[in-house]
Amino acid sequence: MVRSYLPEGAITIWPSEMLNSRRLPHEDFQKTPEAMKLEDETHWVPQILGNEEEAIRKSILKLKSHGASAIDINMGCPVKKALRHNYGVALMGDSKYAAQVVRMAKGASELPVSVKLRVGPQKNLDELLDFLWNLESAGADWLTFHPRTTEQKRRGNADWGQIEKVGANLKIPLIGNGDIQTVEDVFALLEQTKVSMAMIGRAATARPWIFWQVGERLGFPPPSGRTGKAPSTAIEEGEEYGRFLESCFKIMLERFNENYAIRKFHFLVRTGAPWLSFGQDLFSKVTQAKTPEDILKNLQTFFSVPQPMLRKTELRQ
């Protein structure tokens, strides 16, 4: 669905959900929703959690055969499950071992390898840069940096100043991430930090046409199958959000079993609804519905009246 808003001729990187390298070698990718990919979905960069060489090697070779364009190592996930297994941001506590994980991934195939990370436990810029230089020396092709600490999780504001400082001290490309909610935020981050690219996360669950909005500013034509201008006013964006949710749910029902589709749709609405003035009411109506037909009916009823979309919201919601 997000790809359907990408301007004609534009290219970007598409990460997957987090994939556990211990389980990947034994999974059927045609039945594993997190690794499911359509034939025409290019520039797919699956994101793996892992710290064991054989599991990483087998996972990467399998992902390569499934159409991966590059491999992303997650060193930024702060959830307890990842920390317990020394995945995610836990790797930032051991600079040498984190670099070794990058070498493991680089040695598995010729695919580019990137690392997604956050500030982690480093107490100062020198320690953080030393950690990043180790990743660079180990062969990382680019980094994606989220400037919040592990303790912050999603709270507080992302410190773009840290992105700027990190980018100025790396030889490889840096992608900046954090607090991008609008098209203005995209260009503000690029201008302030001078990094190579900007990454949008949760706001894309509410405003996926932000890619269309960015494309308009860069002179790209509209997305294939779409005409005119991207939604821009609060009412236009609210209307488009309703169409997006309905279309997305129908695709989920086609691809997944019913229970999984409903569960994932609940998560999608819970993540994106805070950008609506009455988003909590929408989430309540969706979760109270017992069948897919009832969910679609409640969606249509809710969006039958104008539902203005907020420009900004508290991302931690």
Tell me the catalytic residues: 77
Q: Could you give the dihedral angle defined by the CA atoms of residues 125, 127, 131 and 137, in that order, rounded to the nearest 10 degrees?
A: 90
How do strand 14-20 and strand 44-49 relate by DSSP bridges?
Answer: parallel
Q: Do the beta carbons of residue 202 and residue 315 sit within 8 Å?
A: yes
Q: Which two tokens stand for residue 292?
A: 């897919």
CA–CA distance, 38 with 66 (Å, rounded to integer): 10
Collapse the DSSP code of 291 into the 3-class scheme (helix H, G, I; strand E, B; otherwise coil) and give the result: coil
Q: Do the beta carbons of residue 121 and residue 76 sit within 8 Å?
A: no
Residue 258, C-beta contacts closer than 8 angstroms, at least 6 positions apart:
292
Residue 190 to residues 1, 164, 186, 206, 282, Cα–Cα distance (Å): 25, 9, 6, 22, 34
Residue 285, C-beta contacts closer than 8 angstroms, at least 6 positions apart:
298, 299, 301, 302
H or E element at residue 48: strand 44-49
